[in-house]
Amino acid sequence: MSHDYSIDPNNLPEDPSRVTAEGKMKHLGLWMFLGGETVLFASLFGTYIALKDSTAGGPTTQDLYGLELVFLMTLLLLTSSLTSVYAIYHMKNNNFKQMQLWFGITGLLGLGFLACEIYEFAHYITDYGFTFRSSAFGSAFYTLVGFHGGHVIFGLSWLIVLMVRNAKRGLDTYNAAKYNTFALYWHFIDVVWVFIFTVVYLMGMVS
């Protein structure tokens, strides 16, 4: 009757997150979800591209954007992607403490990214009067970047729940699957950011 999810330390599975049937389903299910997310963000990017020059006399992309903050945000998020890779590496070696540590660093970097984004939005609103309602461009900008920020917030909450819930329990094949799906989701957030800094900020500063 009991369910055995424990990992035998003398005979480690190649990938503890995909030992059980549920683990395999969660893994594939998350990939499917990311396929849908691709189209979700495609629609937002498309809307942004269609409206990016509709400034209604307000500030334009060239007035607003600066390279320094966006570069810092990019570094934070890219690095958090790498630290979650480290966490998964330790998960595969059945080293729970190291895994929690690296996921913790991932969360802190994500938090740093979020802080920068909030600062950036506040800066646009107070210094330029550039808001969600000031022009179609404003609506599209805040919606696209905000949806990404919302994904970061959701990811951070997910990570905190996972880490707190399993802090005393240690690693087993049941929660390894959960950690692994989170890591995949987090990488995807980074992928979306790569396109945001390219399409929104860099291309916005060029043309």
Near another protein in 132-151, by CB under 8 A: 132-140, 143
Name the segment binding another protein (CB under 8 A); options: 22-30, 98-106, 107-115, 119-127.
22-30
Name the segment binding another protein (CB under 8 A); options: 102-110, 117-125, 193-201.
193-201
Smallest gap from residue 122 Cβ to another protein (A) = 18
Round to whole Å and give the CA distance between 44 and 92: 36
Q: 1 vs 126, which CB is nearer to another protein? A: 1
Name the segment binding another protein (CB under 8 A); options: 101-109, 114-122, 126-134.
126-134
Handedness of CA 132, 137, 142, 147 (dihedral sign): positive
Structure tokens at 14: 């190649």
Round to whole Å and give the CA distance between 52 and 29: 34
Tally Cβ neighbours within 10 Å of residue 106: 25
Q: Which is nearest to 49 in space by CA: 143, 165, 164?
A: 143
Position 195 contacts another protein (CB under 8 A): yes
Round to whole Å and give the CA distance between 42 and 57: 27
Q: Which of 31, 62, 127, 170 is close enough to bind another protein by CB under 8 A? A: 31
Smallest gap from residue 111 Cβ to another protein (A) = 19
Smallest gap from residue 98 Cβ to another protein (A) = 13
| Residue 201 CB contacts under 8 Å (≥ 6 apart), including other chains | 65, 67, 70
Round to whole Å and give the CA distance between 32 and 30: 5
Smallest gap from residue 127 Cβ to another protein (A) = 20
Smallest gap from residue 136 Cβ to another protein (A) = 4
Q: Helix or strand or coil: residue 183?
A: helix
Q: Which of 6, 7, 60, 85 is close enough to bind another protein by CB under 8 A? A: 85
Binders in 95-124 for another protein, by CB under 8 A: none
130 touches 174 (CB < 8 A): no
Site string for another protein, 34-53 (x = CB under 8 A): xxxxxxx-xxxxxx-xxx-x
Binders in 1-20 for another protein, by CB under 8 A: 1, 3, 10-12, 14, 18
